[in-house]
Amino acid sequence: LAVIGKGSLAASFNCAYIFTGELFPTVIRQTGMGLGGTMARVGSMVAPLVRMAADVTPALPLLIYGAAPIISAIATCLLPETR
């Protein structure tokens, strides 16, 4: 089961990486891919800190993890490609 999970994770990462490269225009593709990779690393560094925010208020991590995708979905709706 662990090997199937690890393989599925690797396959989904490869699909996401290829799809992300197709989202950006050729002129800014490398900048966009670099920014995306950087933000992914920042997110992995901040995730434990968000989890520690449960010491302040137990619902705070749930609020943060729930608000982030909603805000990004709203921002995606404002892109010219999705109008």
Interval 2-32: pLDDT, tens: 999 899 988 888 887 888 788 888 888 889 8
* Closest alpha carbon to 33 in 45, 48, 49, 21: 21
Range of the domain at 24: 1-78
Residue 52 lies in a domain: yes
Percent of the chain with pLDDT over 90: 33
**Is 0.85 surpassed by the pTM of this model?**
no
pLDDT for the residue numbered 42: 92
pLDDT for the residue numbered 63: 93
Q: Nearest 5 degrees, angle CA 36-CA 77-CA 25? A: 45
Residue 46 lies in a domain: yes
Residue 50 lies in a domain: yes
As a whole number, mean pLDDT of residues 59-79 equals 90
Total tally of structural domains belonging to the chain: 1
Residue 83 lies in a domain: no
* Closest alpha carbon to 39 in 15, 20, 11, 19: 20
Residue 22 lies in a domain: yes
Residue 8 lies in a domain: yes
